[in-house]
């Protein structure tokens, strides 16, 4: 009788154990699936610019996968886009700790340092990015921004040329180099780069670039405009200031204001046959064309 009872009870124990195993793996698979869904939702919202929703989903995902440096890094990008730089830096630090040889992580943290007025920290991070990936222009372009904040214009020019050698199709690079030439009082090369932009990239050349570099340049353009407003108030007849402000307006598609400044540059320029007058007239026509589109 005892042996009969033993065999009678054994299948029940096997069924119970099997059920527990199945439930365990089902729960594990469910958690994995939930994690994957959280990441997919996070990334879609991140790309779409819905940063609050993206962060919420990244938080859910990172609870299950705390060592996923890519997800942590992307959450940092969301925070930075919201200008929550302290949170962004925490995530960049964590991502770098998990993957210390990733050049893009140093580039992103470098830009966060630029935006929080820590140019030396930014310089160091961009330098690391160059060391880990010397064939990518991002590190050089980032270090340009750090050098400009450190008032090292010659070094900024060297890095800008290095970035252009690696990627000579990016019109932002020529724009930034033109601005560096104004700081170095190299008017001829300034006009050469303006001519390159006009000949090759006459439209809004921010549309194809969604990097942090573009966001930073857009911020800098607004700062440039405010700075030039002050200079023009003190020098209301200086043609070059109007040209420079007009070009900044042009870059951010404020075409009516840009056209007004280019016309003033022509009005006040003492040499009617100069390159500045030629470019200003061309830019006025471009402003009319793009305003109608």
Give 193-196's long-range contacts (Cβ < 8 A, gap of 24+).
Answer: 194/247, 194/279, 195/275, 195/279
Measured between alpha carbons, how far is residue 153 from residues 14, 109, 181 in Å?
76, 22, 9
- The domain total for the chain is 2
Higher pLDDT, 19 or 41: 41
| Domain closes at, from 70, 100, 130 | 100
CATH code of the domain containing 50: 1.25.40.10
Residue 212 lies inside a defined structural domain of this protein: yes
Helices (H), the chain: 2-48, 51-64, 69-81, 85-98, 103-115, 119-132, 137-149, 153-166, 171-183, 187-200, 212-234, 239-251, 255-268, 275-291
d(CA 194, CA 180): 12
d(CA 42, CA 195): 42
pLDDT at 26 over 60: no
d(CA 121, CA 291): 41
| Domain closes at, from 54, 70, 100 | 100
What is the radius of gyration, based on Cα positions, of the chain?
28
Mean pLDDT check: name the lowest of 32-41, 43-52, 109-118, 180-189: 32-41
Interval 11-38 mean pLDDT: 52
Residue 8 lies inside a defined structural domain of this protein: no
Question: Tell me, what's the pLDDT at 170?
Answer: 81
* pLDDT tens sequence across 99-128: 999 999 999 999 999 999 999 999 999 999
Question: Tell me, what's the pLDDT at 224?
Answer: 86
* pLDDT tens sequence across 62-79: 999 999 999 999 999 999
| Domain closes at, from 50, 80, 100 | 100
Residue 108 lies inside a defined structural domain of this protein: no
Which class for 275: exposed (0-12), middle (13-18), buried (19 or more C-beta within 10 A)?
middle
Highest mean pLDDT range out of 93-102, 200-209, 275-284? 93-102
**Average pLDDT over the chain, rounded to an integer:** 85
Question: Tell me, what's the pLDDT at 205?
Answer: 59
Residue 178 lies inside a defined structural domain of this protein: no
Residue 45 lies inside a defined structural domain of this protein: yes
Tokens encoding 78? 């969301």
Pseudo-torsion of CA 193, 197, 199, 201, nearest 10°?
Answer: 160
pLDDT at 175 over 90: no
Interval 22-27 mean pLDDT: 47
Question: Tell me, what's the pLDDT at 14?
Answer: 45
Residue 70 lies inside a defined structural domain of this protein: yes
pTM over 0.85: no
Residue 193 lies inside a defined structural domain of this protein: no
pLDDT at 197 over 80: yes
Question: Tell me, what's the pLDDT at 211?
Answer: 60
* Structural domain for 251, as ranges: 203-293
Question: Tell me, what's the pLDDT at 138?
Answer: 93
Residue 53 lies inside a defined structural domain of this protein: yes
* pLDDT tens sequence across 226-265: 989 999 999 999 999 999 999 889 888 899 999 999 999 9
Higher pLDDT, 69 or 217: 69
Neighbours of 33 (CB within 10 A): 10
CATH code of the domain containing 283: 1.25.40
């Amino acid at each position: 009788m005892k042996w009969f009872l033993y065999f009678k009870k054994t299948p029940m124990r096997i069924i119970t154990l099997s059920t527990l195993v199945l439930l365990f793996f089902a729960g594990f698979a469910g958690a994995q699936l939930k994690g994957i869904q959280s990441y997919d939702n996070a990334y879609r919202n991140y790309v779409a610019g819905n940063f609050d929703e993206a962060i919420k989903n990244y938080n859910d995902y990172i609870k299950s996968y705390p060592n996923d440096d890519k997800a942590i890094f992307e959450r940092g990008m969301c925070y930075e886009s919201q200008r929550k730089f302290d949170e962004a830096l925490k995530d960049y630090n964590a991502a770098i700790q998990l993957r210390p040889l990733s050049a893009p992580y140093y580039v992103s943290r470098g830009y966060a340092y630029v935006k929080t007025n820590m140019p030396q920290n930014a310089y160091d991070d961009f330098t690391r990015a160059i060391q880990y990936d010397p064939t990518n222009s991002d590190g050089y372009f980032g270090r340009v921004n750090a050098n400009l904040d450190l008032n090292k214009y010659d070094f900024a020019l060297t890095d800008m040329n290095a970035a252009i050698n690696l990627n000579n199709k990016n019109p932002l690079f020529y724009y930034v180099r033109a601005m560096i030439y104004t700081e170095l009082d190299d008017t001829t090369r300034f006009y050469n780069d303006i001519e390159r932009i006009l000949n090759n990239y006459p439209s809004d050349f921010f549309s194809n670039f969604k990097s942090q570099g573009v966001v930073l340049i857009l911020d800098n353009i607004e700062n440039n405009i405010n700075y030039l407003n002050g200079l023009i108030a003190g020098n209301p007849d200086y043609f070059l200031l109007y040209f420079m402000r007009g070009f900044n307006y042009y870059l951010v598609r404020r075409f009516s204001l840009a056209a007004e400044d280019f016309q003033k540059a022509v009005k006040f320029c003492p040499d009617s046959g100069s390159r500045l007058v030629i470019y200003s007239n061309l830019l006025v026509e471009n402003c009319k064309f793009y305003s109608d589109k």
